[in-house]
Amino acid sequence: MSRAHYCGLTLLFVLMMTWVILKSSLMIESNTVLPAAEGNTARHAAVRERLVPNPKLRLKEQFHEVCRFKHLAVRSEEAYWGWVVRLVRHFDSKINPRDMSGEQLGEFLTHLATVDKVAASTQNQALNALLFLYREVLHLERTVADFERVRRPARLPVVLSQAEVKRLLAAVPEHRLALQLLYGTGLRLMELLRLRVKDVDFERNQIIVHGGKGDKDRVTMLPELLRTAMAEHLQQVKLLHAEDLGNGLGAVWLPEALARKYPGAARQWGWQWVFPARGLAIDPESMTPGAHGVSRPTLRRHHIKEDTLQRMTKLAAARAGLVKTVTPHTLRHSFATHLLENGYDIRTVQDLLGHKNVATTQIYTHVMQRPGLGVKSPLDMV
């Protein structure tokens, strides 16, 4: 091989390696651009998740439109809008919320703490309502100025003894089964009232809670003592549902988009409330347009109201001669405390209650009949 031929091959090899290196660097650069593109896509997706309400609507209607888009509970929407109203009234309705500054928002929250003497949870709810208004509805940047925060003191729950629970339930004039279930399952009041027929599993002795606090599902027990009473109660509810169907009604409210996805499910037996109300009521979320633009309300049978059970509990406590402040939630506290007293594991009780943190469940260890390590008073040893 001649020297010129060898040099030519060497030069060709160098050029080929240079081309390979350049090609590799271009591929690396193109790959490094992808995360940015993906980030942009994620940002665009996040923007699409935010709804810009119709600017031609009034503020209350815009607020409602965003709440429906975010699937907020009706009770949450009512509570949040109530704080918007209180904010406007605090300044004598002279300032539009769009024109309020962060200092004025801080002044309102401080007023709640120092003048109105609200609880810490109430002030937090007011703050969340204002943040929702400016971030999700008005799309305005507002930094709330420093404000006086309400201190949250440590409170022990009110717990009944098993004898007191027995006296209370015996004195219930109406809806005794509902109060028995509160104590026997540890459900929250609204979790109980929102139970559907399909959520009661007689075969497995279970009750399934859908969309509980934090929008979480969980399972709790169906007390053996209440199986017969529950079955008889559901038979009565089924007769009431059949009567509604005969009158052209019987369509229960369904969560979110299920009514559109399964049009016939609203009249199915499994979706009916376990504790339906006696009368029919207009569903504010189901207004359908009628002829000539006139809205036609839809009648539904909702579940019984929470204040009904609250009144029954208060009346039963008075009849039973209980001096403690008793509410439906007291039965949930008693459920957890009695399970711990009977030796059940705190993690099991946490799961039954649906607590996110076990520290929340540990509060019941402070109100057990033998708190701590069962310390005995020195007076009892004299």
One-letter identity of residue 79: A
Report the alpha-carbon distance of residue 229 to residue 244 in Å, rounded.
23
With tokens 């009034």, the residue in question is 58
Cα separation, 53 vs 59, in Å, equals 9
188 is catalytic: yes
Residues 6 or more apart whose CB falls under 8 angstroms from that of 55 comprise: 62
Q: How far apart are CA 122 and CA 101, in angstroms?
A: 22
- How many other C-beta atoms are found inside a 10 Å radius of the C-beta of residue 210? 15
Structure tokens at 12: 């060709």
Residue of 142, 194, 332, 333 marked catalytic: 332
Of 86, 176, 314, 329, the active-site residue reads 329
Active-site choice (80, 134, 183, 364): 364
Tell me the C-alpha to C-alpha distance, in Å, between residue 32 and each of 22, 37, 38.
16, 9, 11
The residues with which 303 forms a beta bridge, in sequence order, are 276
Tokens of 290: 């009628």
For this structure, is 332 an active site residue?
A: yes
Q: Which of 188, 196, 303, 333 is catalytic?
A: 188
329 is catalytic: yes
Query: How long is the chain?
Result: 382
Q: What are phi and psi of 372, to 5 degrees?
A: 65, -130
Element (H, E) at 350: helix 346-353
Backbone angles phi, psi at 135, to 5 degrees: -80, -45
Of 176, 213, 302, 319, the active-site residue reads: 213
Is 355 an annotated catalytic residue?
yes
- Distance between alpha carbon 244 and the CA centroid of its chain, in Å? 30
Give the catalytic positions in this structure: 188, 213, 329, 332, 355, 364
